[in-house]
């Protein structure tokens, strides 16, 4: 077997050994404390930097260092695991400890080199090598500080679009941060030790492979050995707390602004977002339309099929509206069976979209025991619109017209102003 392939298998074995031992120490944290694992990370940090500076092996795609590929990549993913299962207050401890220890080492070396050294056992200390190692470790730990913040934030952000895809979240966050780290660490390595460019590209390929391997190991560990639950937000003390607390705060705030049944934004969010959107449209002259949607004969659905079926209709409709609107609008549940959509469109385009929504709902539910139809009123910001109440009142009057004319239709223009229609339509947002 070629030497390069043997090296690949050896690196995989090193990764499995590293992760296996660290995972066991992490698993035992409730019995022995996390200090045991943190000490192991600290001890391995020196070996990691030493190997990254002097120890290279050949792989089919280039030259790499096991210290950078296995030990650093593994350490970064382990720090993410600590964050996932503990919190930012905990994960900062080994990072700050490594950073403080490395600066202390450099400071001591600056003093130690002032000694007059006498020979001992025929050995002479290589202070130059210690200098190189010290500065590399300081630079590497500084990068680790940035990397740890970045991987946590990326992991949180990716959760907004990759919910339920844990491997993808961990792998993408790891690959992105390790790419940045490879460039940053190679710059220092090239400057201090003269490492060839082949180390940059070979190391990057190896780190991408390591990211995938360690991500799979983390997901497997969480699935088989840990009970995944929600983390509690830490108090704000430093940048780790600030950043991760902010992400969790916004997630909690977003959830608080959601309707419990449909997951859509609720009435309070509609009033707040709507007022801001109307003010922005008036200031900039950009188009803005409001669609008010009501489920036809919803009381009959509840009476005939029960409230559980009625709830399911509302959830289904919420999904259909969200899918149709996509990113080109905001969907709200503003009442029992009423929904609203704010869309950055003029009235003509908004009417076409409303008609598409109406038809889509009818088509998607036509095979249900009781097909669902909706009536929609559409209004757009104009020179006569003073605030959200005006816009809503206009759309609501048109919704009443749609229902009065037989339901299952869209009304978006007033041949005659509907001031004579039910007065309660003008009071429902007041």
pLDDT in tens, 391-421: 999 999 999 999 999 999 999 876 544 444 4
Fold topology of 258-426: Alpha-Beta Plaits (3.30.70)
Which residue has better confidence, 238 or 350?
Answer: 350
109 contacts 131 by C-beta, under 8 angstroms: yes
| Residue 340, H or E segment | strand 338-343
Grade residue 383 by pLDDT with cuts at 50, 70 and 90. confident
How far from 243 is each of 44, 152, 191, CA to CA, in Å? Answer: 28, 9, 32
pLDDT higher than 50, residue 56? yes
Can you tell me the mean pLDDT for 262-286? 89
Residues 167, 219: Cα–Cα separation, whole Å: 6
Residues 136, 142: Cα–Cα separation, whole Å: 10
pLDDT of residue 418: 44
pLDDT of residue 419: 46
> 87 — alpha (psi -120 to 50), left (phi > 0) or beta?
beta
pLDDT of residue 86: 83
Which residue has better confidence, 171 or 128?
Answer: 171
Residues 40, 252: Cα–Cα separation, whole Å: 35
Can you tell me the mean pLDDT for 335-359? 91
Residues 351, 271: Cα–Cα separation, whole Å: 22
pLDDT higher than 90, residue 217? yes
Whole-model pTM over 0.75: no
Grade residue 46 by pLDDT with cuts at 50, 70 and 90. confident
User: What are the residue boundaries of the structural domains of the chain, listed by start?
Assistant: 3-114+125-254, 258-426
pLDDT higher than 50, residue 243? yes
41 contacts 144 by C-beta, under 8 angstroms: no
pLDDT higher than 50, residue 192? yes
Q: Which two tokens stand for residue 95?
A: 């990072």
pLDDT digits (tens, 9 = 90+) for 150-167: 888 898 888 878 877 899
Q: Say how far residue 375 (Cα) sits from the centre of its chain.
A: 37
Provide, rounded to the nearest whole percent, the portion of the chain with pLDDT above 70. Answer: 84
- Cα pseudo-dihedral 123, 129, 134, 139, rounded to 10: -160
pLDDT of residue 246: 58
Q: Say how far residue 117 (Cα) sits from the centre of its chain.
A: 55
Beta bridge partners of 294: 338, 375
Q: Which of 344, 380, 370, 339 is nearest to 357 (CA)?
A: 339
pLDDT of residue 249: 58
Alpha helices in 365-418 (DSSP H): 388-404
pLDDT digits (tens, 9 = 90+) for 285-299: 899 999 999 999 888
| Residue 289, H or E segment | strand 289-295
Can you tell me the mean pLDDT for 68-76? 89
Alpha helices in 163-196 (DSSP H): 166-193
């Amino acid at each position: 077997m070629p030497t390069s392939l043997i090296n690949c298998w050896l690196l995989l074995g090193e990764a499995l050994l590293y992760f296996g031992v660290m995972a066991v120490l992490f698993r035992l944290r409730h019995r022995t404390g996390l200090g045991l694992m943190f000490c192991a990370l600290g001890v391995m940090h020196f070996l990691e930097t030493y190997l990254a500076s002097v120890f290279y092996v050949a792989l089919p795609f280039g030259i790499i260092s096991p210290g950078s590929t296995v030990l650093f990549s593994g350490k970064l993913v382990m720090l993410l695991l600590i964050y996932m299962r503990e919190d930012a207050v905990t994960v900062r401890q080994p990072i700050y400890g490594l950073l403080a220890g490395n600066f202390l080492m450099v400071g001591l070396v600056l003093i130690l080199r002032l000694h007059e050294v006498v020979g001992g056992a025929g050995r002479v200390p290589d202070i130059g090598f210690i200098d190189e190692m010290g500065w590399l470790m300081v630079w590497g730990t500084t990068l680790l500080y940035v990397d740890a913040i970045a991987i946590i934030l990326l992991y949180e952000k990716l959760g907004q679009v990759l919910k339920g895809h844990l491997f993808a979240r961990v792998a993408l966050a790891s690959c992105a941060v390790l790419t940045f780290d490879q460039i940053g660490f190679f710059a220092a390595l090239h400057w201090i030790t003269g490492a060839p460019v082949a180390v940059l590209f070979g190391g990057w390929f190896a780190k991408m492979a390591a990211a995938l391997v360690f991500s799979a190991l983390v997901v497997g560990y969480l699935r088989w050995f840990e009970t995944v639950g929600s983390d509690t937000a830490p108090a704000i003390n430093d940048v780790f707390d600030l950043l991760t607390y902010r992400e969790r705060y916004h997630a909690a705030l977003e959830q608080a602004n959601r309707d419990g049944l449909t997951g859509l934004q609720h009435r309070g969010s509609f009033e707040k977002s709507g007022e801001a959107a109307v003010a922005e449209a008036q200031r900039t002259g950009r188009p803005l339309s409001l669609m008010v949607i009501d489920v036809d004969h919803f009381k009959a659905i509840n009476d005939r099929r029960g409230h559980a079926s009625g709830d399911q209709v509302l959830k289904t409709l919420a999904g259909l509206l969200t899918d149709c609107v996509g990113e080109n609008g905001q969907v709200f549940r503003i009442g029992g069976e009423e929904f609203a959509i704010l869309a950055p469109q003029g009235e003509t385009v908004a009417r076409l979209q409303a008609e598409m929504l109406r038809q889509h709902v009818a088509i998607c539910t036509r095979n249900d025991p009781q097909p669902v139809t909706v009536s929609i009123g559409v209004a757009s910001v104009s020179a006569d619109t003073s605030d959200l109440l005006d816009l809503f009142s206009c759309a609501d009057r048109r919704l009443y017209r749609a229902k009065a004319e037989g339901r299952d239709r869209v009304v978006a223009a007033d041949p005659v102003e509907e001031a004579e229609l039910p007065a309660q339509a003008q009071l429902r947002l007041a």
